[in-house]
Amino acid sequence: MKSKFFTSLAMGSLLLAGSLVSAPESYAEVNVNIGVGLPGLMIPAPPAMLVIPGTYVYYPPDVGMDIFFYRGYWYRPYRGRWFISTEYNGPWGGIALGRVPRVLISLPPTYRHVPPGYERMPYGIVRKNWRGWERDRHWDRREERRGDRREDRGREHREERGER
């Protein structure tokens, strides 16, 4: 009886050892990519930019889609959601509506109709200067100067006609 027990134990041990040695190795890997490519958005070169009057939001007028540069980030509404990136070609990540800057959500639908006198700027200039322009209220002062010039022209025109 003892020898039968030891024989069974030895055979079981051999079977167990054999299965451990010959067991194939298996690996599992999970890869999560949070970058989202937005269909139809591929900008081949750094785009020319315009400031949207009354804001410090910039957009590329030659890109036929809504895409904005604001405070160092690119934002894009797409299919009812908003996306954010540090580069104009992505990678894009989703952003909750509550985290989208209010100025972007409240842009007028006519933001592409820029008044005369606004010039396109290379993206590199905007990227380099946006912080200082906002801190120094650069575009506000420009608007004030433009308003003063319009007022001066109106006064000159009234004086030419003999009005006050």
- 72 falls within a domain: yes
Number of domains in the chain: 1
Q: Is 31 within 8 Å of 39 (Cβ atoms)?
A: no
Q: Is residue 21 part of a domain?
A: no
d(CA 142, CA 51): 12
The predicted structure's pLDDT at residue 117: 81
pLDDT digits (tens, 9 = 90+) for 98-157: 999 999 999 999 999 888 888 899 999 999 999 999 999 998 876 665 554 445 445 554
Closest CA to 83 of 71, 67, 72: 67
Higher pLDDT among residues 25 and 132, named by residue:
132
In a domain, 15, yes or no: no
Range of the domain at 148: 48-160
Question: Which residue blocks in 54-137 are alpha helix, DSSP H?
Answer: 102-105, 123-135
pLDDT at 118: 86
Lowest-confidence pick of 34-43, 45-54, 96-105: 34-43
The answer to whether residue 145 sits within a structural domain is: yes
